Amino acid sequence: MLKRFIQGLMLALCVSQAPSFAQEPVARIPAEKFFQPAEMNEVLLSPSGRYLALTTTKIAGRRALYVFDLNPGGKPTQAARFEGLDVVGVQWVNENRLLFNVTDLSLGSGSNYREPPGLYAVDRDGGNLREIVRRTFTSSETSSKVRDRSLAPNHMLLRVPPAREGASNEEVIIGELRLNAAYEATAIRPLIVNVNTGQSRRMPDLAAPASTAEWLFDSANEPRIAVSVDEMDAKILYREPGQAQWRQIGAGNLLAMPFTPRFFDASGRLYVTERIGAGGVSVLKRFDFKTGAPEDKPLISTGKFDFQGEPVLSPAGELLGVRLTTDAEDTIWFNPQMKAFQEKTDKQFPGHVNRISCRQCGQPDMVALVRSFSDRDPGQVVVYRAKEDAWQSVGPVVRGIDPAQMPRVDFQYYKARDGMEIPVWVTLPPGVKPGTKPAKPLPTVVYVHGGPNARGRPWGWAWSPFPYPEFMASRGYVVLEPEFRGSDGFGQTFLEAGFKQWGQAMQNDLTDVLQWAQKQGLSSDKACIAGASYGGYATLAGLMVTPDQYRCGIAWVAVSDLMLLAQGSSWIETDVSALSRKAVLSKRLGDPVQDEAMLRQFSPVLHADKMKAPLLLAMGAADVRVPLAHGERMRDALVKAGNPPEWVVYPGEGHTWLLPESHIDFAKRMERFLAKHLDGQ
């Protein structure tokens, strides 16, 4: 089996032309295909671009690490594989050495036996395996090749210095988490660790506050920014290179900082994000140390979208470009050669987001790794070698997904009843093109994201939390995903418009999007509402507040009792801390004392008698974010009201289900449920 797998991958790597993204049409794609694990997970070029590191589950169902020599005649090597464990979080340290974590992906997300991921180093040929950060079991239980000398589990990787030509690059920066009596991290102290020997040492006396919870390093790996945190108050401290003295350059509440430090470039310039204008939309700016504030003119502004992105830096720290997400992912290249190569790549793979990672970026000997994906295509991975001007296919991220059969995703705006513009994702069934109307209005699912103070999605294949929109649309439904007020990513004003609006203005946005789609001729009066976490709450609230609008509801890991969420319970385990309730939930959800009447008014568990539509209700048995009590109380209340839900609990799963079998089972239940309540007369 291993031989066949390697041969298959090597044949793919020898293809010297662009891969095809289309396949012959097949029958309706089953749920198992939508929710299968990715065939390729992490794919990374070595510092020189000669080697390709790749993790895959193709061997024995466990995610293992392989390294491929991309030179002609090169062979693949198994670098790391563990019995009963999966390799994740891979990074190259230098041309010969890699870092990675391990975890057990066969366990549900709520497993009490899930251990810290540890940190390991290994040579690309599988030799010299070393445990850098311990897990809770002994080294002899993982591999006889793991040597003694490792750090305790309360350590995490902070930074892998980019490999530079002529540098051995044997050291990385590890953070020691200082824990309080409740095992909560209160500070991080950086250490320097040699990945060959495991030997660690403290950084020179930094004289930074003991409560430093975040560090930012420059291209020379010097700590230049320290963020100290005291409950919800934070201070941003700065030091010049080689100096011991820190000075404060910013302070505020963690929920409303004046700016956020992001990265340094090779010249030592600091880049920050700052909210500007009436909408409080964040932009990327350079920081002016003379004035002690961000520069007036933004380097990158993305209109109605908050800046969400990361720099693309050369090994020396030169800012080559910025990868960002607006409605879709894009890269703004400052390097003219890379800008030209992006244009070349986009012509090669039109209609796709083409994410480029490169070595010797923009040079005649450049090697580039391209992950190409779209709303209909989970993605392909290809390698480009500038010397040969040739594309080599690594392969598809998943198999069995025919883009020609898949739904299309459109991004639009609609006006809520109070005039606020709300973004919405519209996933259309196969055969319906964005910007056109179906032959007749179609049954519809209003799909509500979690958070609620989070962003739903960008354009592309909905990997997170799993492709439910694509799955539902593939069954013939229009899927509406509104970025309702209170969603993150669209400015502070838009975010705060959702504060203390559970079941109220946020819920109105969901009502309004369906009415908008009906006026557009997209949606019929056959509609269901669905979602997880806050989306699950919104589903329950939709059936409660607008009982005549929906023919059914599908809610999973759903909040049903706002008072229980706001005040907690002494006998129900939860991972929502007292500080989070006091400083965050009281502001965004409501205070359990001052806002008790409101919280009870909009708690579905107290108003089950108003909910008439059928409900599919699912929970994770080990959920500590939204404990099982929320679902059990809602179920019992509906039974008492004479409207028992279809009820399912997934053992071992927590709040974000991890096991494909959980999603496959639930998707099949969802498919049957929607067909029963939306497809009939």
- 552 CB-contact burial (10 Å; exposed 0-12 / middle 13-18 / buried 19+): buried
- Count of domains in the chain? 2
On whether the CB atoms of residues 495 and 487 are closer than 8 A, the answer is yes
Q: Is 328 helix (H, G, I), strand (E, B) or coil?
A: coil
Percent share of the chain, pLDDT over 70: 91
CA 376 vs. chain centroid, Å, equals: 19
CB atoms within 10 A of CB 260: 16
On whether the CB atoms of residues 253 and 234 are closer than 8 A, the answer is yes
Residue 216 lies in a domain: no
CA–CA distance, 593 with 611 (Å, rounded to integer): 27
| Strands laid side by side in the 171-179 sheet | 155-159, 171-179, 185-194, 200-202
User: Residue 587 maps to which CATH number?
Assistant: 3.40.50.1820
Written as one letter, the residue type at 18 is A
DSSP state of 102: E
Structure tokens at 218: 């420059």
- The range of the structural domain enclosing residue 117 comes to 50-196
pLDDT for 581 equals 78
What's the pLDDT tens digit per position in 279-315? 999 999 999 999 999 999 999 999 999 999 999 999 9
**With the CA atoms of 432, 435, 440 and 444 taken in that order, what torsion angle do they form, in degrees rounded to the nearest 10?**
80
Task: Please confirm whether the linkage preceding 241 is cis (ω < 30° from 0).
Answer: no
Q: Is 10 helix (H, G, I), strand (E, B) or coil?
A: helix
Q: Mention every residue, 6+ apart, whose C-beta is less than 8 A from residue 450.
A: 465, 531, 532, 533, 534, 535, 536
Determine the number of helices (DSSP H) and then strands (DSSP E) in the chain: 13, 35
| Residue with the larger pLDDT of the pair 299 and 164 | 299
Residue 619 lies in a domain: yes
What is the arithmetic mean of pLDDT over 206-219? 90
Residue 320 lies in a domain: no
Candidates 91, 111, 92; CA nearest to 103 is 111
CA–CA distance, 500 with 506 (Å, rounded to integer): 9
- What is the pairing mode between strands 281-288 and 293-294? antiparallel
Residue 29 lies in a domain: no
| Boundary of a domain, candidates 196, 216, 243 | 196
Kindly indicate the confidence band of residue 184, based on its pLDDT and cuts at 50, 70 and 90.
confident
- What is the pairing mode between strands 223-230 and 270-276? unpaired
User: Which residues are registered as beta bridge partners of 445?
Assistant: 479, 528
Residue 587 lies in a domain: yes
Helix (H) or strand (E) holding 155: strand 155-159
pLDDT for 109 equals 76
pLDDT for 385 equals 96
pLDDT for 534 equals 97
Q: Which residues of 623-652 are buried (b: 16+ CB within 10 A; e: fewer)?
A: bebbbbbbbbbbbebbeeeebebbbebbeb
pLDDT for 148 equals 63
Candidates 74, 166, 76, 87; CA nearest to 124 is 76
Task: Please confirm whether the linkage preceding 378 is cis (ω < 30° from 0).
Answer: no
Percent share of the chain, pLDDT over 90: 76
Q: Show the DSSP H helices in 148-231 as ranges.
A: none
pLDDT for 66 equals 96
In DSSP notation, 217-281 reads E-TT--EEEEEEEETTEEEEEE--TT----EEEEEEETTB-S-EEEEE-TT--EEEEEEETTTTE
pTM for the model stands at: 0.91
Kindly indicate the confidence band of residue 256, based on its pLDDT and cuts at 50, 70 and 90.
confident
Kindly indicate the confidence band of residue 115, based on its pLDDT and cuts at 50, 70 and 90.
confident
pLDDT for 114 equals 66
pLDDT for 3 equals 33
CA–CA distance, 53 with 215 (Å, rounded to integer): 28
- What is the pairing mode between strands 552-556 and 523-532? parallel
Residue 523 lies in a domain: yes
Average pLDDT along the chain: 90
Helix (H) or strand (E) holding 336: helix 336-348
Residue 511 lies in a domain: yes
For residue 230, pLDDT over 70 is answered with yes
Q: Which residues of 205-244 are buried (b: 16+ CB within 10 A; e: fewer)?
A: ebebbebbbbbbbbbebbbbbbbbbeeeebbbbbbeeeee
Structure tokens at 8: 């298959």
Residue 380 lies in a domain: no
DSSP state of 644: P
DSSP state of 388: T
- How many residues are present in the chain? 681
For residue 141, pLDDT over 60 is answered with no
User: Which residues are registered as beta bridge partners of 415?
Assistant: 421
First and final CA of the chain: distance in angstroms? 51
CA–CA distance, 358 with 369 (Å, rounded to integer): 6
pLDDT for 23 equals 32
SS3 letters across 267-325: CCCEEEEEEECCCCEEEEEEEECCCCEECCCCCECECCECCCEEEEECCCCCEEEEEEE
pLDDT for 434 equals 86
What's the pLDDT tens digit per position in 4-44? 333 333 333 333 333 333 333 335 789 999 998 888 899 99
| Boundary of a domain, candidates 196, 219, 243 | 196
| Boundary of a domain, candidates 196, 227, 254 | 196
